[in-house]
Each structure stands twice: as C-alpha cells, then as structure tokens.
Structure 1
Amino acid sequence: GWTYGLNGELRKATRISGIEDFSINVFRRDFGLVPIKVATWGPFVLLNMDNEILQKDNIDTDNVASEWLGSSSELFSLNGVDTTLTYVCRREYIIECNWKVFCDNYLDGGYHVPFAHKGLASGLSLDSYTTSIFEKVSIQSAEGGSKEKEDDRLGSKAFYAFIYPNFMINRYGPWMDTNLAIPLGPRKCLVVFDYFLEASFKDDKAFIERSLADSEKVQMEDIRLCEGVQKGIESPAYSTGRYAPNVEKAMHHFHCLLYDNLIN
C-alpha cells in the first residue's frame, strides 16, 4: 500500500518502481494528501479548505477570530467562550424537518419560548431579551430570572450565538453547548449537541445529570415544534407569513444571508 507521513506527504508507494516520471520528487509534489489549513480559536479547531487559502504557506492566526466571527469576536470571549471549559458529552437528534426550520426556531428571538418551554422561560427574564446582528453572526441574550428563581443551570445570563450557516454556540451559567445542524434531506436533519462545563463543576455528577435532563426536555419540546412547523409549511392551507420585527431580527438576517448565497 501507499504510506503517508503525518504532514500528508507520500512516503512510500510499493511495486511501482520504474514508472516513467514517477520520482521521489514527483511523489512529494503531486501525490500527497490534500492539505487543509487548520487554526484554533478559543475551544474550537477550525478548518479551511478554500483553494485560495490553501495556496498560502501560513495562516495569520491573529485574524482567525475576525475572519470567522467578524466584529462580534470579542463578545464571545467576554461571555466565557474560552479554553477553560471541560468537555462533557455529545447528543445527537434526527429531526423530521428541514435544517432551516431548526435554525429558524433557534433564531426567533425567544418568540416561542413562553409557549413551548415553560420551564426554560421561568429561568429567564424574557423582557431583557436582546438581539444583535453582525456580518455572519447573530447574538441573542437574556438575563436570568430573579435571584429567588435563578436556575443554577442557566445562571444569571444566557448567550445564544448563531454563526452562519448552521452552527450555534450557547453559553449559560457554568455550561456551554454547541449545535450543528446537518441536512439529511429536504424534510430531515441531524442536530449534533456537544456539552462543555466549567471545570469546578466537572465532578458534580448530580448537577450534570440534572442539567442534561433539563436540556433534553427543551430539545424534545423543540423537536415537536420543528416537526409540527415542517408539516404546517407543507400544507396547502399555508401561505407565507410576516416577520415579527421586534423579535425575529436574527431570523431575517439568516434568510438574507441564505438568499444571497442562493442567487450568487
């Protein structure tokens, strides 16, 4: 077989000696693995397979944050998205809806929260809900409930960031989770949740189990909602609606970016 080095270079190719124009230099130049540019930011490892980027010998890692997150990058650091968090677990959900329906549900500015998530709503001050729009990022945030009602999972503030086209970062209390929405067809998607926790809580098994159970309840509520929306938009009785401008700014931003991609 063919053997590659850790740098992707072809080291050895058996039983092909004597082939014309197949010297060791040709090995290294033309038959290595396809290179991928890699950089890190906070707790994330980022890959870029853009052809123009691949032609460059070096990546300016100082610009990684601004290239990925634009002018919103500092807000992530200020809200605790960093390398100090401990990885906890992964959960995956197959949902019978288009991936964009899941994203729309995430991006509605908390519009559905009082109706679909009674438990979650009780831990947030929905009157404080705000949405900020950046180049390819939207950030929704809300203060936690009163001290008497403050949810130890949600803490004093929730920070929900959507990075176009399909990645979400949620930071709340001692927790962070990320969501990746992957299309599986026009009416089905896979959503991958990865959970991270502040190191001081990593040995508190009861807290972790309780928090994950609360999160699971929210996901089940969202799945029912998204699958219902998918059925609704396929109904011949449905016609397109209007945005609720006070809350659905992030959704509108997502649709504008998607439209630009589809026509260009």
Structure 2
Amino acid sequence: MAIPQSLAPSSSSAAREARPMLRRASPSRVAATGAGATGEPARRLVAAFDPAIPLASAVTPPSGWYTDPEFLRLELDRVFLRGWQAVGHIGQVKNPNDFFTGRLGNVEFVICLDANGKLRAFHNVCRHHASLLACGSGQKTCFQCPYHGWTYGLDGNLLKATRISGIKNFNKNDFGLVPIKVAIWGPFVLARFDDFSEDTVDDVVEDEWLGSASELLSRNGIDTSLHHLCRREYIIQCNWKVFCDNYLDGGYHVPYAHGALASGLQLQSYETLTYERVSVQRCGSAPAEQEDIDRLGTKATYAFVYPNFMINRYGPWMDTNLAVPLDATRCKVVFDYFLDESLLDDQNFIDRSLKDSEQVQMEDIALCEGVQRGLESPAYSVGRYAPSVEMAMHHFHCLLHADLTG
C-alpha cells in the first residue's frame, strides 16, 4: 500500500551427431511455459479491458485477469520475461564470491559477484542434465552441480565435466552457463531475461526502467546511502495484481482498514504523479510528538515501478516490496527494509517500527485475500475506479494491457 508506514520494514528428438549449441547461444526469447502460444480465452480477457476509455467512465479489468492460469502464463511471457525486472539489492552481492538465487515463472536464476568484482547473472541450470546448481544465498568460489559434479566458475565457464571419457563432439567451452543481462540502479539489482548481451550502459538501463521518473526518485533519497536492515517474505493467497492494486489506490482504503496508521497521515495532502512506467504517490505526515518526527519525516514518496516493484521512502527509512507471482491465485511479496546508519544502534526504535509495519502488512494481507475470494465469486465481473484517487491503478492496468497486446 502506498502510504507512510510507521515502520519501515517488518519465484525431442534423439541426440544428433552435429555439434551442440554454443555456450552463449540461447533461445531468442525465454518462453514462459514450453506449451506453445497462449490460447484465445486469455486474449479475450485482455481485449475485455479498454484503456482508451477515460478514467471517470472506465471499468476495471475483468475478474479473469486475477483468476485465470492461462492469463498468468501470458503475463509471464509478455510482461515479466521482457524488459528490466527488480530481483534484489546490492547488499546481497557486496563482496566478491557473494551470490543469491531466485525464480520468476519457469526461469531459475543466480546473481553473483565474481572474484574480480564483476556482477554477473546466469540461468541457474546445469548444462549436463538440468539440475539446479545453487540455492539460497551466500558465498561460493564456484558452482558445483549437486547431481553429477559438473563445476562452473563465477564467470559462467565450465571448469570441470566429470566422467566424460569417451564422449564425442564435446568442447567444454560450448557448455558454460547461459547468461542473463544484469545491471544496477541505485541500491537495486535488475535483470533482463529477454536480452542475452552481457554489456549494459547505466544511462540506458535508467531510461528503460524508470524513464523520466528517475530524476525525481534520485532527488528523494532513493539511493545507496541507507543500510539494509532485514528482509521479510509473505506468501499471500491472492493474484500478484491484487497486491499491486491495493498499493495503487491512492490511500483510499487507509481510513477504513488502517486506523492506527491513518491517524498519522494527512490524507488530504495525497497526490499522485504518473510517468511512462512509474507512478509516484506522495503524502504528508500529521503533526507528531517530537520523538516521532525523525521516524515519519514530513512527507513520504511511494513509487510503483511497473510491473511489480514498490519503493517507499520517508524519514530515515526506505522499504521495498516485490510482488512475485507463484500461480494465478498466490503470490510471494518480498519486503526489504533500509535504515539510515545513524539509527542502526537504536534497537527500541527499530523494534517498534518493525512491529508497527507488521501490523499494517497483516491488515493488508487480510484485505488482499478477501478481494481474491471476491474475484473468484460468480457475483463479480468488473468494477469501477474512484477517479480522484485511483489514477495510478488505472495507469498500471493500461500498461499491462499494452504489454499483453504487444
């Protein structure tokens, strides 16, 4: 949700004699399913939403956008596996040999910092018999397959292929890990699954990911100056877009669902700005006791970076929310919390903030799961927007429609 929280932090044919594909060769585009083109029902669901209708007259996307498994497959293919996606933060790859893993749709990936300090990303799949190579996060000097011991350097090169005496037409240089394009903006690690070139230019990444919103976000303290404090993850029984819609309703639900939080806000000051693929919501804080001023600040910036990344910056805090689809009616939301270094020793302040944030998250989870159950009811098809507050939500739906029809 996009309101200042009093906290900041609580996915053939037989073998041929010809040479195998080269090490860096990859499919021209990562497929979300392996099952062929998405069918007509999903395309009809996309067409049921008309982004050309003005907000005051528009209806929301049909409930099938939030319940249909085939629609999610289309989203994975045309939304998540194209363009830059937030996958982590720089604190996870701070030192040489650091790594972390993740999953998006059917893509298993690993991000690492090699011994020379170069950030790299690969499909987390052994080229021998497709075993996953790494899990979780930590430090490794190489990736050794737990299945048959094939070993790869953190540069992706195959270092050792075990027990292959007698094999023909094999060159280990052709069997390195399949690379993924990776970049950094501010404190965030980004990956791109549809582009297999290895070089990136910071200005290009910034323009493609944030567009003209990048300057505003940089000016409002979304940078590398804060210390990563902790991570919390929630499995929520709702479609990933339900969580995003809740974030994008312009504080509409706050007085009704978050009584304690609402008392600390000046909801009449709420404003929403939209950019190419970003929307920004801002709200002032209500007058507070002196000891609370440093915690809440005077104004918060809440940025939604399409399609599923949320950045909340206020006072000494920044927290981020990443909504990762698990299936059509479940998502995982990853919260990362960052704090000004001057407050890292104030454990009472941290504990109080985390507790307050957890209360808000539990309230939002109950809301989102209730909405999902309603979306699955035969009584609901489409809804309406509140034009004065839900412009960011409509912007999100229009972006989705454009990608899904593209």
Same fold by TM-score greater than 0.5: yes
Pair 1:27-2:169 in alignment: no
Aligned to 1:4: 152
2-structure distance, mates of 1:10, 1:173: 47
- Superposed displacement of residue 214, structure 1: 0.7
Structure 1 residue matching 2:156: 3-state secondary structure: coil
Gap regions ≥5 residues in structure 2 = 1-148
On the 8 A contact 2:213/2:275 being kept in 1, the answer is yes
Cα separation, 1, equivalents of 2:255 and 2:293: 16
1:38 correspondence with 2:182: yes
Maintained 8 Å contact 1:145/1:151: no
Superposition deviation, residue 61 in structure 1: 1.9
Moved more, 162-171 or 41-50: 41-50
Partner of 1:141: 282
Cα deviation for residue 226 of structure 1 reads: 1.3
Cα pair distance change 1:93/1:126, threshold 3 Å: same
Q: Is the CA contact 2:264–2:288 (under 8 Å) kept in the aligned structure 1?
A: no
Does 2:163 correspond to 1:15? yes
In structure 2, how many angstroms separate the alpha carbons of the residues matched to 1:11 and 1:231?
51
Counterpart residue number, 1:87? 228
Q: 2:265 matched to which residue of 1?
A: 124
Specify which of 325, 341, 356 is matched with residue 214 of structure 1: 356
Displacement of 1:158 after TM fit?
1.2
2:172 is aligned with what amino acid? F
Question: What SS does the aligned partner of 2:241 have?
Answer: helix
Match of 1:248 in 2: 390
Deviation at 1:239, TM superposition (A): 4.3
Q: Distance in 2 between matches of 1:155 and 1:217?
A: 20
Partner amino acid, structure 2, of 1:39: A
- Cα distance in 2 for partners of 1:224, 1:19 equals 57
Q: Which amino acid aligns with 1:223?
A: I
What are the ranges of 5 or more consecutive residues in structure 1 without an aligned counterpart?
none
Superposed CA deviations along residues 9-30 of structure 1, whole A, max 9, x for unmatched, are 11232333554333xxx322x2
Shift in alpha-carbon separation, 1:201–1:262, aligned structure 2, 3 A:
same
**CA shift in 2, pair 1:15/1:232, >3 Å:** closer
Q: Is the 8 A contact 1:123 1:151 kept in 2?
A: no
Shift in CA distance, 217/147, structure 1 to aligned 2, threshold 3 Å: closer
Q: Which moved more, 1:161-170 or 1:93-102?
A: 93-102
Per-residue Cα deviation, 1:101-156 (whole angstroms, up to 9, x for no partner): 11111000111111111222122211111111111111111111125586543221
2-side partners of 1:108 and 1:218: how far apart? 15
Aligned 8 A contact 1:144 1:151 in 2? no
C-alpha distance in 1 between matches for 2:203 and 2:327: 37
Q: Aligned partners of 2:298, 2:259: CA distance in 1, in Å?
A: 18
Question: Separation in 1 of the partners of 2:177 and 2:381?
Answer: 49
Partners of 1:241 and 1:15 in 2: CA distance: 61
For the 8 Å contact 1:174–1:197, the answer to whether it is kept is: yes
1 CA distance for matches of 2:254 and 2:304? 17
CA distance in 1, matches of 2:375, 2:166: 63
- TM-score, length basis structure 2: 0.60
Greater RCO (CA < 8 Å, at least 6 residues apart): 2
Residue-pair matches, total:
257
2:89 aligns to what? none
Cα 1:228/1:15, change in 2 over 3 Å: closer
Equivalent residue, structure 1, for 2:36: none
In structure 2, what is the Cα distance between the partners aligned to 1:124 and 1:46? 32
Output the CA distance in 2 between the equivalents of 1:188 and 1:251. 20
Distance verdict in 2 for CA 1:35–1:185, change over 3 Å:
closer
The 5-angstrom pairing of residues 57-68 of structure 1 reads 57-68=198-209
- Which aligned pairs between 1:96-245 and structure 2 lie closer than 5 A? 96-148=237-289, 152-245=294-387
Q: Provide the C-alpha distance between the structure 1 equivalents of 2:334 and 2:307, rounded to a whole number of angstroms.
A: 15
Q: What SS does the corresponding residue of 1:200 show, helix, strand or coil?
A: helix
